[in-house]
């Protein structure tokens, strides 16, 4: 597999408090891993959180 400089993180939407798994890229861009984030906001305010347990945390 190709190694990419991105990290799997958890993020929370500061608008609706929905939590989702995201890729955190070196340029600061936050990209939801799944198309289903649980957030329905037109303009998401995703904030990466570090100390959050993820179901498949590795």
Q: Which residues bind Zn ion (CB under 5 A)?
A: 13, 15-16, 18, 39, 41
Q: Specify the residue, 15 or 23, whose C-beta has the smaller distance to Zn ion.
A: 15
User: Which residues, at least 6 apart from 7, have a Cβ–Cβ distance to it below 8 Å?
Assistant: 23, 24
User: What six digits make up the tokens of 2?
Assistant: 């190709």
Closest approach, Cβ 35 to Zn ion, in A, equals: 14
Tokens coding 36: 């289903």
CB of 44 to Zn ion, least distance (A): 5
Q: How far is the CB of 19 from Zn ion (least distance, A)?
A: 10
Rg of the chain (C-alpha set): 11
């Amino acid at each position: 597999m190709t190694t990419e400089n991105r990290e799997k993180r958890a993020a929370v939407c500061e608008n609706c408090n929905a939590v989702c798994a995201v890729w955190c890229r070196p340029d600061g861009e936050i990209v939801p891993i799944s198309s289903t984030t649980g957030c329905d906001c037109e303009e998401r305010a995703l904030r990466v959180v570090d100390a959050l347990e993820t179901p498949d945390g590795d």
